[in-house]
Chain A
Amino acid sequence: MASLVGSRVERKEDKKLLTGRGKYTADVTFAHQTYAYFVRSPHARAQIKNVDISKAVKASGVVSVLTGKDIVNDKIGGLIAGWRIKSEDGSDMKVPPHPPLASESVNYVGDHVAVVIAESLDEARNAAELVKVDYKVLKAVVKTDEAMKSDNIYKDIPKNLCFDWLLGDRAKVKEAFDKADKIIKIDLINNRLIPNAMEPRAANADYNPSTEEITLYTTSQNPHLARIIISAFNGVAPENKLRVIAPDVGGGFGSKIYPYAEEVVCSWAAKKIERPVKWVADRTESFLSDCHGRDHVTHAELAVKNDGTFLGFKNETIANLGAYASVFGTVTPTYLFGPCATGVYKMPAAYSNVKAVYTNTAPVDAYRGAGRPEATYTIETLVEKAARELGMDPAEIRMKNFPTQFPFQQTLVHSVDSGDYVGGLKKAMEVADYKGFEKRKRDSASKGKLRGIGLCSYFEACGIAPSPVVMMLGCGIGLWESAEVRFNPTGNVTVFTGSHSHGQGHDTTFAQIAADQLGVPIENIEISHGDTDKGPFGYGTYGSRSLTVGGTAIVKACDKIVAKGKKVAAKMLEVSESDVEFKDGEFIVAKSNKKKTIGEIAFACYLPGTYGEVKSPLPEGEEPGLKETSFFDPVNFSFPAGSHICEVEVDPDTGKVELVKYTAVDDFGTIINPLVVEGQVHGGLAQGIGQALHENCHYDDSGQLVTASYMDYTMPRADNFPNFELGFTCTPATSNPLGTKGCGEAGAIAAPPTVMNAVMNAIGTEISMPATAEKVWKACQKMKKANSEAA
């Protein structure tokens, strides 16, 4: 039987998803359904003096109106920060309370104040207009780099500072800088982004008063985590009385990893009114209240020798957490960011210092790449600048500082098990025809266009992650993953995974793995995820972890199935277990060529007897059934890496940047399904290029979100992209049996510096993301003026 691992199996889930047969949370409607509409703060910062619901409760169709007072009275717990970070001085991070409905203050536009529950959505929305909230409006803190100098949002949190974190050795860095021939400095803004999953967030909670069980349908990347948080921290119901189902979910990009106020409120309210409560965000609510991404202000320095050797690196960053510390909000700008900021290079000394600040903006949390795009943007624009200032080729300076021995002990945390950075960059240069650039530049110039080329070499730490390591670093949860492989009596298979697919293609990729392991045809394998009542506990999908951690759990569970199968086959074939080999779905005795298929074994395990005589196919002491579970905790992170090269053409008259060529050569270790991986790379690139050229979340000085719709927030579209040239190298990961490394975030990590380096190469000056036409035009005008003055 040919191996399915490595083949371009078409996505099993696409027929359903592309023909409108997917079942999303908004598609679920219960009998006696009610509809929730949230009253949200129109102010970025205000005290709540009074909430008057007297008119709203009398409005047509209204079932209930609940406020922050009800949350307090019912002792419903607040939303949590899931990762504890300590400051350089040893003090704990400072976290303000984050109630699901505010009763004392609101801290960003869109903050939840009350919920109106009615027989229809229109009635709920109309009645919400009748909820009168008396606010005392306060001056908002909006800008990341001004937060520490502004009024304290929370009285117990001076300078709005959550923590002032250090990773690395300042003294060693100073020593390195003292020895340097040259110090390259850069100031960067990593622009704030809004995730914009295609499916807005939604929740529908049903309460059964006779069993006291809540069933919550929700748009989650991580239903088990949602259940434990809503149960253990919000106190809505015990875990055994709360079933969370994340059905088909239309994209998450990090913004759906953890439960939000709405899921907590719908679950609590359903129990309170003993009717199902449904909420579906409209697009503006998504813009306002989904957790945002990025938003760093960074000053970084690189100490170099004149020959381009790197000696040391400093990274001073202010990270915006928004109004509250969200679940992964504190780890994103620290352990996911700091260690990777030294890039793919040998760096004798380095530190990352991050000050995380609160502002009156939506909470900021993990967004595709989470910390690693910010890290890569920092080091890769800095390295490019170093090449420019030293008069070196940007590829040469990178090659010079790549490690060539693996495992490679990266400066700040990671021990990178495998990689070939030199080979990757060489291949990218080949695919991109790096040598031919000068000619293409002349051709562009003859059309009046400025052409630029940009490079980026990245690595990232993903496949998160070894539980003891992350918990030592402050993580409030483990990050292993589970799988249950369940043979049905007739020989087909259901595989339960604790991870969750919301576009990644697990139904296909995971089935390929199980098919190869078990020798069962792929069409006889179903992948099941997203229901806490079905499969074992798991930690969901993010951090490019599903395949590397969750896929490995499937392999391990399959191993257990095969081990049991061998015992049963040996008994049935009347040989000793050591004589049985398993290959392509068959248990074979080499000596006699006797065999049993795995289907026959499954059948025998479920029907362990024979007509007419007392005879079991099961060895003494072996239990009936064929079902195995595995919980896999990885021993290390995985480290995808790669080199991307892009070319842009700039029209100096309009400043419009056209992306004319984009090459990505990535090392994801073993690739299970190239079709799925290419799709992941394309999507990641679209988001990374979006950050570089188009997307920008903009709050005005009063904290109003100006980019609260697609009229103002620029989502990239298909016509913004060229055909991507993809290439792959492969150094298998040594930390998991599949050799996989993860591919979901790479595009979003590598693209921003690649594109920006090309833009800056074209126009000859530094600009910030996104490189909008006006910014580029202004830079071109400035360069033109400078050049004419110089002449």
Chain B
Amino acid sequence: MKTFNYHSTKDVKEATKLASSSSAFLAGGMTTIPSMKLGLASYKDIIDIKRIKKLSGIKVSAKSVTIGSTTKHVEVANSKEVKKALPSLSALAEGIGDPQVRNRGTIGGSIANNDPSADYPSACIALNATIHTNNRKISADKFFTGMFETSLKKGELIEAIEFQIPEKSCYQKYPNPASRYAIVGVYVAKHKSGVNVAVTGAKSCVYNEKNISNALSKNFSASSIDNVVVSSSGINSDIHASAEYRANMVKVFAKKAVEAC
């Protein structure tokens, strides 16, 4: 690992002031630290934001669940309020990585990294989330812009993620047997305004599978997915799963999600 300056702040303003083109915010460090150790990334300044109190915590209202960016997966998984208001989200958090990862990894870190097979981005898309940063609000469909890319500007800090509570929802994933990241993860959410079918793992970036969500918006049942065609074009293909297989799993896991809603 290359040497770097370590800063720990208690304040959002101070954190963003320290940020530069060669800095990184550090929350759980689940991706940042291994990348640095493997020599894949190096930074002049590491800005630890874990001590900023306002970034952590869970607020539940009648319409939404708002989670601070440095809230750990384990806190979301174990939160009684989240389990009651949005059980699909606590179940998703419970399925991320392993206990070590859940005890350190944070929601803000997960979505800022936007790993194509991370779980949380699918929740953001399915639950019409709003990403609150230190200077604006970004809707989820504008936030995830590509593989490991988001619309965050340099030095911009996620403060919280606000999820809309749907009528029904469920997340089902087929984990990669090696890494246990999603080969395909499908988050189905039925809102008054329609159904979202957010898919992670299948393409370079999380997306809303419109063919399935349209079918489900008309008739919210597993059988309505049977005749939907999920094209394998643009779908990832690697040693773990071909595009053809992943495309099929999108359907299979969408059905499982609908059945479990």
* A, B in one complex: yes
Say yes or no for B240: interface residue by CB 8 A criterion: yes
Distance in angstroms between the alpha carbons of A694 and B178 in the assembled complex = 8
Q: Please determine whether B179 and A712 come into contact, CB atoms closer than 8 angstroms.
A: yes
Interface stretch of the complex, out of B49-57, B74-82, B121-129, B244-252: B244-252
Q: Please determine whether A698 and B239 come into contact, CB atoms closer than 8 angstroms.
A: yes
By a CB distance below 8 angstroms, the chain A residues around B252 are: 653-654
Say yes or no for B2: interface residue by CB 8 A criterion: yes
By a CB distance below 8 angstroms, the chain B residues around A773 are: 174, 177, 245
Say yes or no for A715: interface residue by CB 8 A criterion: yes
Per-position 1/0 for A486-523, Cβ under 8 A of B: 00000000000000000000000000000000000000
Say yes or no for A777: interface residue by CB 8 A criterion: yes
By a CB distance below 8 angstroms, the chain A residues around B174 are: 654, 773
Q: Please determine whether A707 and B239 come into contact, CB atoms closer than 8 angstroms.
A: yes
Q: Please determine whether A777 and B248 come into contact, CB atoms closer than 8 angstroms.
A: yes
CB distance from B244 to the nearest CB of A (A): 9
A residues 647-665 in Cβ contact with B at 8 Å:
653-655
Query: A122-B1, A654-B249, A774-B245 in contact; A710/B179 too (CB < 8 A)?
Result: yes
By a CB distance below 8 angstroms, the chain A residues around B240 are: 712, 774
Q: Please determine whether B178 and A772 come into contact, CB atoms closer than 8 angstroms.
A: no
Distance in angstroms between the alpha carbons of A772 and B179 in the assembled complex = 14
CB distance from A780 to the nearest CB of B (A): 11
Say yes or no for B241: interface residue by CB 8 A criterion: yes
Chain A residue nearest to B179 (CB atoms) is A711
Query: A122-B1, A774-B241, A774-B242 in contact; A713/B248 too (CB < 8 A)?
Result: no
Distance in angstroms between the alpha carbons of A777 and B251 in the assembled complex = 14
By a CB distance below 8 angstroms, the chain B residues around A401 are: none
Distance in angstroms between the alpha carbons of A710 and B178 in the assembled complex = 6
Say yes or no for A126: interface residue by CB 8 A criterion: yes
Looking at chain B's contact residues, the main secondary structure is: loop
Chain A residue nearest to B253 (CB atoms) is A654
Chain A residue nearest to B2 (CB atoms) is A126
By a CB distance below 8 angstroms, the chain B residues around A712 are: 178-179, 239-240
By a CB distance below 8 angstroms, the chain B residues around A33 are: none
Q: Which of B177, B181, B241 contacts A694 (CB 8 A)?
A: B177
Per-position 1/0 for A251-290, Cβ under 8 A of B: 0000000000000000000000000000000001000000
CB distance from B19 to the nearest CB of A (A): 25
Per-position 1/0 for A701-723, Cβ under 8 A of B: 00000110011111100000000
CB distance from B216 to the nearest CB of A (A): 18
CB distance from A777 to the nearest CB of B (A): 6
CB distance from B120 to the nearest CB of A (A): 18
| Chain B: interface size category | 10 to 19
Q: Please determine whether A777 and B178 come into contact, CB atoms closer than 8 angstroms.
A: no
Per-position 1/0 for A123-142, Cβ under 8 A of B: 00110000000000000000
CB distance from B11 to the nearest CB of A (A): 32
Distance in angstroms between the alpha carbons of A707 and B252 in the assembled complex = 27
Distance in angstroms between the alpha carbons of A270 and B74 in the assembled complex = 48
Q: Which of A122, A654, A706, A715 contacts B239 (CB 8 A)?
A: A706
By a CB distance below 8 angstroms, the chain B residues around A714 are: 177-178
Chain B residue nearest to A654 (CB atoms) is B252
By a CB distance below 8 angstroms, the chain B residues around A777 are: 245, 248
Chain B residue nearest to A777 (CB atoms) is B245
Distance in angstroms between the alpha carbons of A714 and B181 in the assembled complex = 12
Q: Which of B38, B177, B181, B252 has the most CB of A within 10 A?
A: B177
Chain B residue nearest to A696 (CB atoms) is B239
By a CB distance below 8 angstroms, the chain B residues around A284 are: 38
Per-position 1/0 for A763-780, Cβ under 8 A of B: 000000000111001100
Distance in angstroms between the alpha carbons of A777 and B181 in the assembled complex = 20
CB distance from A715 to the nearest CB of B (A): 7
Distance in angstroms between the alpha carbons of A710 and B34 in the assembled complex = 13
Chain A residue nearest to B3 (CB atoms) is A122
Distance in angstroms between the alpha carbons of A778 and B178 in the assembled complex = 20
CB distance from B74 to the nearest CB of A (A): 19
Distance in angstroms between the alpha carbons of A339 and B174 in the assembled complex = 42
Chain B residue nearest to A122 (CB atoms) is B1
By a CB distance below 8 angstroms, the chain B residues around A711 are: 178-179, 181
Query: A126-B2, A698-B239, A707-B239 in contact; A772/B249 too (CB < 8 A)?
Result: no
Chain B residue nearest to A772 (CB atoms) is B177
Distance in angstroms between the alpha carbons of A125 and B37 in the assembled complex = 11
By a CB distance below 8 angstroms, the chain A residues around B241 are: 774
CB distance from A275 to the nearest CB of B (A): 24
Distance in angstroms between the alpha carbons of A772 and B3 in the assembled complex = 42
By a CB distance below 8 angstroms, the chain A residues around B178 are: 707, 710-715
Per-position 1/0 for A289-307, Cβ under 8 A of B: 0000000000000000000
Chain B residue nearest to A283 (CB atoms) is B38
By a CB distance below 8 angstroms, the chain B residues around A698 are: 239
By a CB distance below 8 angstroms, the chain A residues around B248 are: 777
Q: Which of A284, A710, A772, A774 has the most CB of B within 10 A?
A: A774
B residues 165-221 in Cβ contact with A at 8 Å:
174, 177-179, 181
By a CB distance below 8 angstroms, the chain B residues around A774 are: 240-242, 245
Distance in angstroms between the alpha carbons of A655 and B245 in the assembled complex = 10
Distance in angstroms between the alpha carbons of A774 and B178 in the assembled complex = 14
CB distance from B54 to the nearest CB of A (A): 34
CB distance from A658 to the nearest CB of B (A): 12
Q: Which of A126, A653, A706, A707 has the most CB of B within 10 A?
A: A653
By a CB distance below 8 angstroms, the chain B residues around A772 are: 177
By a CB distance below 8 angstroms, the chain A residues around B179 are: 710-712
By a CB distance below 8 angstroms, the chain A residues around B2 are: 122, 126
Per-position 1/0 for B14-44, Cβ under 8 A of A: 0000000000000000000000001100000
Chain B residue nearest to A770 (CB atoms) is B177
Per-position 1/0 for B233-261, Cβ under 8 A of A: 00000011110010011001000000000
CB distance from A608 to the nearest CB of B (A): 60
Distance in angstroms between the alpha carbons of A772 and B178 in the assembled complex = 11
Distance in angstroms between the alpha carbons of A284 and B40 in the assembled complex = 13
CB distance from B227 to the nearest CB of A (A): 16
Distance in angstroms between the alpha carbons of A122 and B36 in the assembled complex = 12
Distance in angstroms between the alpha carbons of A698 and B38 in the assembled complex = 21
Distance in angstroms between the alpha carbons of A772 and B240 in the assembled complex = 9
Distance in angstroms between the alpha carbons of A706 and B240 in the assembled complex = 11
Chain B residue nearest to A712 (CB atoms) is B178
Chain B residue nearest to A700 (CB atoms) is B239
Chain A residue nearest to B181 (CB atoms) is A711
CB distance from B38 to the nearest CB of A (A): 8
By a CB distance below 8 angstroms, the chain B residues around A778 are: 245
Distance in angstroms between the alpha carbons of A791 and B179 in the assembled complex = 41
By a CB distance below 8 angstroms, the chain B residues around A653 are: 252
Distance in angstroms between the alpha carbons of A714 and B241 in the assembled complex = 13
By a CB distance below 8 angstroms, the chain A residues around B3 are: 122
Distance in angstroms between the alpha carbons of A125 and B3 in the assembled complex = 13
Distance in angstroms between the alpha carbons of A284 and B38 in the assembled complex = 10
CB distance from A434 to the nearest CB of B (A): 29
Chain B residue nearest to A774 (CB atoms) is B245
CB distance from A476 to the nearest CB of B (A): 38
Distance in angstroms between the alpha carbons of A125 and B2 in the assembled complex = 10
Distance in angstroms between the alpha carbons of A126 and B181 in the assembled complex = 31
CB distance from B45 to the nearest CB of A (A): 18
CB distance from A194 to the nearest CB of B (A): 12
By a CB distance below 8 angstroms, the chain A residues around B242 are: 774
Distance in angstroms between the alpha carbons of A552 and B39 in the assembled complex = 50
By a CB distance below 8 angstroms, the chain A residues around B1 are: 122
5 extra interchain contacts, Cβ-Cβ under 8 A, other than A654-B249, A772-B177?
A653-B252, A654-B174, A712-B178, A712-B240, A714-B178
| B positions within 8 Å CB-CB of A | 1-3, 38-39, 174, 177-179, 181, 239-242, 245, 248-249, 252
22 contacts between A and B (CB under 8 A): A122-B1, A122-B3, A126-B2, A284-B38, A653-B252, A654-B249, A654-B252, A694-B177, A706-B239, A710-B178, A711-B178, A711-B179, A712-B240, A715-B178, A772-B177, A773-B174, A773-B177, A774-B240, A774-B241, A774-B242, A777-B245, A778-B245
Q: Which 6 A-B pairs have the closest CB atoms?
A: A714-B178, A711-B179, A774-B245, A714-B177, A653-B252, A698-B239
